[in-house]
Amino acid sequence: MGWRLGELIAQHRVPGAQVALLSCGNVHAEAAGVLSARTRVEVTDDSLFKVGSITKLWTATLTQYLVDDGLLDLDAPVSDHLPGFPPTLTARHLLTHTGGIEANHFFDTGRNDDAIGRYADAIAAAGQRVAPGTGFTYSNSGFVVLGRLVEVVGGQAFHDALKERLIRPLQIDEVATDADEAIAHRTAFGHVEDGTPVANWAVAYGTAPSGSHFSISARQLMEFVRLHLDDPGLAAMRADQGVVVPDLGTGAVGWGLGWMRFRDGVGHTGVSKGQKAFLHVDAERRAVAVLTNSVNGEPLAHDLITRLMRSVTP
């Protein structure tokens, strides 16, 4: 594609990366480097990278589907479905990180089907950092509560809902929802600044937001973006929710329902055990995803996103 990805990963000291561009309805993808400095297995277009908090967009979409199905009111108390939370907390608060819930709770609730439920119960018992609706508090834990809403209101386990409502309809096969599935694919491993692989592929299953172990290829992440661009019912998720956002170092100047709002579009970032992921969608219906297996991935992503968003075609 002429993106010089191989040169760029060497320049930015990133072992491996993928980039995908959605433009004029077509997806163009490129891969370079190695999945792990230890194994030296080559990165290919169908390799999987952990996308960290980009998973929040998938959780938010499942939440919106509950609204579309008439099962959930974004402005009704979460406690209508999940007893123990304050009556002033709503799903809209959780989607916009204004729920007042601490950023990260560390409850290892295991890997069984009750893990998210037990985690959500523990969050409720821990109480609020601040009152819901009184300020922006980015919260991974808040999205665990949304994951539990998906389970309770939708009537199925979170990962089952993820597969039934999104992964299968989008015909995505380059994807893994946990480590057991990831091992069946060419899967990237994270690296620290000096290029050394991290000790563990992921944080403990029970100590992260719903679906945080999600891994996917950049080119198939574009199918999720295409869904959002083509489905008018999901457009409201990208609308500004009037949230005052502090400088998070991500470029976000506002928030939608799950989506970060940038000055020139929307998207999200993701960090997970030595891997960094970046997604940007502009007003011209172009999207770029850059997935890296290094904590050094941000300058590489900024370079590619800035350059590709200036061009209609790669």
**Interval 120-133: pLDDT, tens:** 999 999 988 899 99
- Angle subtended at Cα 134 by Cα 130 and Cα 135, rounded to the nearest 5 degrees: 85
The SS3 of residue 10 is helix
pLDDT, position 2: 73
Q: Which of 159, 189, 210 is the last residue of a domain?
A: 159
In a domain, 241, yes or no: yes
Q: How many residues does the chain have?
A: 314
Same domain, 281 and 138: no
Mark whether 41 and 129 lie in a shared domain.
no
The reply to whether 71 and 151 lie within a common domain is: yes
81 and 139 fall within a common domain: yes
Say whether 79 is catalytic: no
191 and 88 within one domain: no
Q: Give pairs for 115-119: CB < 8 Å, separation 24+.
A: 115/205, 115/206, 116/144, 116/147, 116/148, 116/151, 116/157, 116/158, 116/210, 117/148, 117/151, 117/152, 118/206, 119/144, 119/148, 119/206
Residue 303 lies in a domain: yes
CA separation for the pair 27, 14 (Å, rounded): 23
Domain co-membership, 37 together with 64? no
198 and 287 assigned to the same domain: yes
Same domain flag for 35 and 72: no
In a domain, 164, yes or no: no
Residue 100 lies in a domain: yes
Domain count, the chain: 2
144 and 191 belong to one structural domain: no
Asked, for residue 169, whether it belongs to a domain, the answer is no
170 located within any domain: no
Q: Which of 36, 53, 141, 217 is catalytic?
A: 53
Picking from 92, 126, 159, the residue at the C-terminal end of a domain is: 159
In a domain, 314, yes or no: no
CATH of the domain at 241: 3.40.710.10
**Which pLDDT does position 289 carry in this prediction?**
98
Any domain includes 166: no
pLDDT at 114: 85
Other residues' Cβ atoms within 10 Å of the Cβ of residue 229: 17
Rounded average pLDDT per 10-residue block, the chain, 314 residues: 89 97 94 97 98 96 98 98 97 97 82 86 91 94 95 95 96 93 96 96 72 89 97 96 91 96 95 96 93 97 90 52
Q: Return the beta strands (E) in the chain as ranges.
A: 16-23, 26-33, 49-50, 175-176, 215-216, 254-255, 260-262, 265-272, 275-282, 287-292
186 in the same domain as 304: yes
Instruction: For the chain, count helices (H), then strands (E).
Output: 9, 10
Residues in CB range of 312: below 8 A, 6 or more apart: 23, 24, 284, 286
pTM to 2 decimal places: 0.95
Q: 198 and 85: one domain? A: no
Do residues 25 and 79 share a domain? no
What tokens appear for 101 in the block? 């819930």
DSSP 79: G
Q: Give tens-digit pLDDT for 191-244.
A: 999 999 999 998 776 666 676 789 999 999 999 999 999 999 999 999 999 999
> Which domain range does residue 86 map to?
58-159
pLDDT of residue 95: 98
What integer pLDDT is reported at residue 111 of this predicted model?
Answer: 76
